[in-house]
Amino acid sequence: MKSEAKTVGFKKGERNIFFHILTACNLQCRHCYINKQQHGNQTLDAKTISDWLNLFYDPLKKSNLIFLGGEPTLHQDLAQCVMGAKEIGYNVTVDTNGYLFHDFLEKTSPEFLDYLSFSLDGPDSEINDPIRGEGVFAVCTENIKKALNKKFKVGVIYTVSKRNIDHLHRMVPLLSDLGVERFFIQVIGLRGESAKPTMVSSAASQNNDWQVSKQQWLDIVPEVAKQGAEAGLHVTYPKVFLDEGEKFECAGVVAENYFIFPNGRVYQCPLCEDYALHTYTIADNKLEVNPNLTEKMLFTLNIEEGCVMNKLLQPDTIEYDSSNRPLHRISCCLLKKEIF
């Protein structure tokens, strides 16, 4: 029986909390989306993390929590925070660059952590390390093996760009050999570092240096996802392009997703994170509505191109015909496809 990818609709009665507990990192990845001017440079203490988690927990809804950074394992109390989040009632994931500081694997256990997700952007050091840093591939894969030996459920996140899309298919045998369960294929976001022009290029040409074309994406990503599923992986990837006649839905309207940063900003759309368009602010351990112009005011706009945020913030990613009509529509960036 052939594997077939299915679009995963936004789930009512479920909320996803993406919690950046710090913005510090030991790496300088070339596509890092952290923007300290907008996100802050604080490291939240364990009590504040616990207080903020209680703000977002709803016992009547499935609540998925993803601890992020920077590099979250740089936080000396992360293991304690993971256990505290599990006790509150969250499903807990930690996204890591693979370095696993402060003896993280020794201080926590699989009963408290639903998934440990490692970031790799290449099937070997020759592809991965120019993007993420020298020596990263070796450290990351070694710690994946250690985590699996300790019976943690492990996923790998691969951010697709022009610099590594031709090597995506080589991840399938690597992950199969390692024994990884989940494979998350992510599209490059033109945020943070990848949105900045270099000294010798314009912003538009810099985008072209990272962003893959529609045809590249559709020719390569779904096929690799099928190969991964046939090899036993659970593969998830963004929908990106809507099919002909497919209805556009914005997660900011029909789902509950919160992207929390250490300076107290809370976004509902990750595309907006380079701008002061956050819907909420946490102040004195209270969630307050931002009274200024926010992302939420734009979510309901209906445009031919699909996602209004993509049109406003990443217009170079959309192609038009001679009548100035879009050749394709962009889905909400949080709409996923998955294949087992």
- Residue 280's pLDDT band, with cuts at 50, 70 and 90, is very high
pLDDT at 197 over 70: no
Domains defined for the chain, CATH in brackets:
6-246+334-339 (3.20.20.70)
pLDDT at 207 over 70: no
How long, in residues, is the chain?
340
Contacts of 304 (CB under 8 A, 6+ apart): 325, 326, 329
Distance CA 337, CA 340 (A): 10
What's the pLDDT tens digit per position in 68-95? 999 999 999 999 999 999 999 999 999 9
Q: Model pTM greater than 0.75?
A: yes
What's the pLDDT tens digit per position in 302-334? 999 999 999 999 888 899 999 999 999 999 999
- Residue 195's pLDDT band, with cuts at 50, 70 and 90, is low
Closest among 307, 313, 328 to 189, alpha carbons compared: 313
- What distances in angstroms separate CA 326 from CA 103, 212, 272, 307, 323, one per listed residue? 50, 17, 22, 12, 9
Query: What is the rounded average pLDDT of the residues 105-131?
Result: 97
Using CA atoms of 282, 283, 288, 294 in order, give the dihedral in degrees to the nearest 10: -60
Burial class (CB in 10 A: 0-12, 13-18, 19+), 160: buried
pLDDT of residue 5: 83
Q: pLDDT above 70 covers what percent of the chain?
A: 94
Residue corresponding to tokens 């976001």: 189
Closest among 247, 243, 242 to 333, alpha carbons compared: 242
- The rounded mean pLDDT for the chain is 93
Provide the residue type at 173 as one letter. P
